[in-house]
Amino acid sequence: MSQAFKRYEFKPFIDEAINALGFHEPTPIQEKMIPMIKKGQSAIGQSQTGTGKTHAYLLPLLDGLDQERNEVQFVITAPTRELAKQIHHEVVKITDRFNQSITSKCFVGGTDKQRAIDKLKFQPQVVVGTPGRINDLVKEQALFVHTARSIVIDEADLMLEMGFIEDVDQIASRMPENLQILVFSATIPEKLKPFLKKYMENPQYAHIEPKQVLAQNIDFILVPKKSRSKIEVLHDVLNSFNPYLAIVFTNTKAKADEVADALLTKGMKVGRVHGGLPARERSRMMKQIRDLEYQYIVATDLAARGIDIPGVSHVINFELPTDLDFFTHRVGRTARAGHSGTAVTLYEPSDEDALSQIEKKGISFKHQEVRNGEWVDLTERHKRTNRKKSENETDAKAKSLVHKPKKVKPGYKKKMQFKMDKIKKRERRINRRNND
């Protein structure tokens, strides 16, 4: 086993799991969070997607579990069914293979609640699920969380955005006063702070600044919509690639359906992932995606956070996210595990301010479009803006050089305008020579 993990003095079954998972050394978020969690401290871990947050809490929590107590010992909440199932799958990988005596259950919305209640004749030691379903089971007095010593709130900012913090609040309020609260999130919005203050008096805080915003092996391409239909531009972009798997991101469920339906009419086999799909259909869709039955997926930001869709070679932003932090989460779906990837963003003139903000994060775009199935380089995107700026500067310079005469004679305005136009023409010629 790696010497780097030995210093945590985990139980043998955790050490075996670390070896089997192929972990050689802890990630920065694991390095900071594991010692705090082992000490029973409440903590906030802030780091971007894909930094090993899940095992930063699973390893120490499972290590500290009392196998003699057949009652709920910790609860893990996640904002989406897919993420909850994914976390539970990691729990099972560690406990089923290496320690048969730890019991765990996953409870998510959209499933038969009575069946879930029936499963709770014996309380699991580990509970994973969505806040709404866990809260339902607690209120039904089927699930007893008052015995738990820890609660994990994973993807807390997304939890807030999706309106689940109230459910988490109700679950936490039924737990012991000395509860260990572990919050993991890519960002800590202001609106989340009242909840944190209510339950966390002096939490430990670990903020891992990304060494780089995104993987170096991602090609970023900007494609202008121009006067064409955005769907036509998207269709040409997707056809120009032969992707292993491409995700097209939209901002709303309605837009995702609109785009998916439009691509279907063009003969493309397209899957879709968004919160408006019934639970059974969403589960079936995720299975089909993992079985590589689709080459193209249209999704909302639900798929950008936490949900692991392996093998994504291309990400297409059909529209820029309202919250620009999600740009990072979206394009971070590709170029994982050392592979390369391509992130294409379709844009309109109204997107310029948002694009400038993204560029300030160190992202450099190629400006291209597809013509007759071939990628063509376009002139610099800022050239038109620079030209307008030059024209404004030219006007200002002409005005500064032409002064109103002290004694005004008839026709002086025409003479002034003539002189200004002459200066402007000369300045434009100089600017053109400098830009060419």
Query: Which pLDDT score is estimated for 432?
Result: 56
3-state secondary structure of 303: helix
Entry pTM: 0.72
Mean pLDDT of 327-331: 86
pLDDT surpassing 70 at residue 32? yes
Lowest mean pLDDT among 150-154, 193-197, 247-251, 399-403: 399-403
Domain 218-377 class in CATH: alpha beta
Greater confidence (324 vs 257) lies with: 257
Question: Residues 283, 307: contact at Cβ < 8 Å?
Answer: no
**What mean pLDDT value characterizes the chain?**
87
Beta strands across the sheet bearing 204-207: 104-107, 126-129, 74-77, 150-153, 180-185, 43-46, 204-207
pLDDT at 174: 96
Q: What is the pLDDT of residue 435?
A: 47
pLDDT above 80 (res 211): no
- Rounded to whole angstroms, how far apart are CA atoms 147 and 138? 12
pLDDT band at 87; cut points 50, 70, 90: very high
Nearest residue to 53 via CA among 153, 126, 163, 191: 153
Q: Residue 269 above 70 pLDDT? A: yes
Delimit the domains of the chain by residue range: 3-207, 218-377, 383-435
Q: What is the pLDDT of residue 398?
A: 60
Whether the per-residue pLDDT at 119 is higher than 70: the answer is yes
The domain made up of 3-207 has a fold known as Rossmann fold (3.40.50)
Higher pLDDT, 177 or 124: 124
Three-class secondary structure of residue 188 per DSSP: coil
Question: Worst-scoring range by mean pLDDT, 128-142, 326-340, 410-424?
Answer: 410-424
What is the DSSP-derived secondary structure letter of residue 245?
S
Q: Mean pLDDT throughout 360-376? A: 92
Q: Is the pLDDT of residue 99 over 80?
A: no
pLDDT for 436 beyond 60: no
Least confident span in 92-106, 158-172, 259-273, 416-430: 416-430
Q: Residue 256: its pLDDT value, please?
A: 95
pLDDT of residue 401: 64
The stretch 51-63 carries a mean pLDDT of 94
**Percent over 90 (pLDDT), the chain:** 58
End-to-end CA distance of the chain: 61
**For residue 400, what pLDDT band results from cuts at 50, 70 and 90?**
low
Residue 118 has pLDDT above 50, yes or no: yes
pLDDT category at 389 given cuts 50, 70, 90 is very low
Whether the domain at 3-207 and the domain at 218-377 fall into the same CATH topology: yes
403-434 pLDDT, tens digit per residue, is: 656 665 666 677 777 777 777 777 776 665 55
- Cα distances from 346 to residues 103, 189, 316, 374, 403, in angstroms, run 47, 28, 8, 16, 47
Q: What is the pLDDT of residue 388?
A: 47
Q: For residues 333 and 364, give the distance between their C-alpha atoms in angstroms, rounded to a whole number.
A: 18
| DSSP-derived pairing of the beta strands 314-317 and 246-249 | parallel
pLDDT over threshold 90, residue 228: yes
